[in-house]
Structure 1
Amino acid sequence: MQQKKSAIVTGASSGIGFSIAKELCNLGYEVYGFGRNFSKAEVASYIETQPLFHAKVCDLLETQRMCDMAKGIAKSTQLHILVNAAGVGYYGLHEELNVKQIQTLVRTNLEVPMILTNRLLRMLKQNRGHIINVSSITAKQNNPHGCAYGAVKAGLTSFGTSLFEEARKYGIKVTTIHPDMTDTDLYRDADFTCAKEAGCYLESEQIAQAVRFLLEQPKGTVIPELTIRPQYHRIARKAKNADA
């Protein structure tokens, strides 16, 4: 019996990563979702009822454990898709960030996808697979009060576009998605959030639908970069007494 095609999705316990994982399950992939905590009610309920979703508890900053887990999946399944969706954001004046925050930004948003791709690329070449990196609109613009975040996302974009040129001759597809402000927990520590009026922000499900669009392109067609923006650009400042 032929194995189902499989996918690895990082950041799959919430937000964009979780929505992408669900969409891949809808497309019939065996999805191995990497995340630190799958206990949220919505996520836990979905896992219980969706046999194609395999939750893999993993701190992505524990590099050896992450690599061992990923390579084990690649060896035992038909790995066709890697989605690097895990991300973390810290915002504010650059001088106000601490060293640990900067290190976490660099490691989570750039080091992790580069290492995971490095470990899985040979298997993905064999299967003529697709690597999808979830970057950010900040990779394409100046980012006062978000210098470090914008820098690592720009690095991820550069990595993805260069990797496509390097690996395309092997049948590998590489796409970098640049979502604008999306209604997720990414901004929980920021002093701003997306305005809640319709058309002022993206939903994580819209990014997942974009992934489906990418995967349904005709054979021999690749979309190396995809930018997704809401109709309006409106940011709301959080009240100072907002929950801690």
Structure 2
Amino acid sequence: MRKIAVVTGASRGIGLAISKMLLKLNYTVYGICRNPNRCDFKDDHFHLNKGDLRDPKTIPDFLKTIPDQEKISLLVNNAGVAYFSPIEEMSPEKITEMIQVHVTAPILLTQALTRILKKNEGRIFFIGSVSGMEISPWGNVYGSLKAGLHHFARLLFDELRKYSVKVHLLIPDITKTEFYEHLNIEPDTDPKSYLLPEQIATIMKQILLDDSGLVIPEVVLKPELFKIKRKKYQS
């Protein structure tokens, strides 16, 4: 019998790499994203449904699309969005969007599925960011929200471990994805200076396959070198 996983932001980047890995581990994956039609990947056990995590009201609607909710054993809170600018120049709409996606949605999804995960002795993964651990110029809103997500994951680990629900926080550094499409920086061309989504999925796979009773609550993932570059804009 296939286990069921729920993955947010599953249409591209880290979320898609995680979904592909889970399919190979015999999971049925229900993903949520804003634009499912933009994802070319197809699999009989990969169900990508439309949902907007900027609007908390869409979460119950998304969960209703999962026919066997009682079999869910894995939740991956991965979806993210980032806008960097001086605080006075950032619009209220962008601030609200980041709050909803990075904090409100993961907490609401976790709350909605915790009883099922307790029954199934399941797992919850949170994809954080090193921005939640470091000072980032013009990234104070994004970094603060990631720090809040980190703290929620840490508190949840202690709350749920008595019920054999394993909570894991993965904190990646700069990763080569479309995450940077709205930013004025991007990964350097040196392949040693960034992570790949598949590397993050591999770490998750190693954690999932370890049934020794050892729980790894938190992992920080960094590339060998630290290099970033500013985008060049044509006038």
Q: State the TM-score bracket (shorter-chain normalisation).
A: over 0.9
Aligned pair partner of 1:140 in 119, 133, 146: 133
Give the match for residue 199 of structure 2.
206
* CA distance in 2: counterparts of 1:9 and 1:32, whole angstroms: 6
Q: CA deviation at 1:176?
A: 0.7
- The one-letter code of the counterpart of 1:11 is G
- Residue of structure 1 in register with 2:120 after alignment: 127
- Cα distance change on mapping 1:198 and 1:72 into 2, 3 Å: closer
Q: CA RMSD in A?
A: 1.5
Correspondence for 1:36: 34
Residue type at the aligned position of 2:62? M
Q: Distance in 2 between matches of 1:64 and 1:38?
A: 19
Contact 2:4 2:30 in 1 (8 A): yes
Identity of aligned residues (%): 37
Decide which of 212, 216, 225 is 2:218's aligned counterpart.
225
Compared CA separation, residues 90 and 73, structure 1 to 2 (3 A)? same
Deviation at 1:128, TM superposition (A): 0.4
Deviation at 1:4, TM superposition (A): 1.6
Structure 1 residue 71, shift from structure 2 partner: 5.3
Give the drift of 1:240. Answer: 2.3
- For 1:149 and 1:212, the matched residues in 2 are separated by 27
State the AA in 1 paired with 2:214: T
Q: Which runs of 5+ in 1 are unaligned?
A: none
The separation in 2 between residues aligned to 1:13 and 1:198, in whole angstroms, is: 23
Identify which range, 150-159 or 139-148, moves more after superposition.
139-148
Secondary structure of the structure 2 residue equivalent to 1:63? coil
- Who is 1:174 aligned against? 167
Q: Report deviation, 1:77.
A: 4.8
Is contact 1:6–1:79 with CA below 8 Å preserved after alignment? yes
Q: Could you tell me whether the CA contact under 8 Å between 2:117 and 2:123 is conserved in 1? A: yes
Q: TM-score, normalised by structure 1?
A: 0.92
Instruction: Please give the alpha-carbon distance, in whole angstroms, between the structure 1 residues aligned to 2:65 and 2:230.
Output: 44
Q: Once the 2 structures are TM-superposed, how far is the Cα of residue 210 of structure 1 from its aligned partner?
A: 1.2
Aligned residue pair count: 235
Q: Which runs of 5+ in 2 are unaligned?
A: none
Separation in 2, partners of 1:74, 1:178: 31
Q: Partners in 1 of 2:70 and 2:162 — Cα distance?
A: 24
Residue 5 of structure 2 aligns to a residue in which SS?
strand
Q: Which amino acid aligns with 2:57?
A: Q
CA distance in 2: counterparts of 1:101 and 1:89, whole angstroms: 9
SS at match of 1:213: helix
Query: 1:10 & 1:113 partners in 2: Cα distance?
Result: 9
What is the deviation of 1:69?
2.5
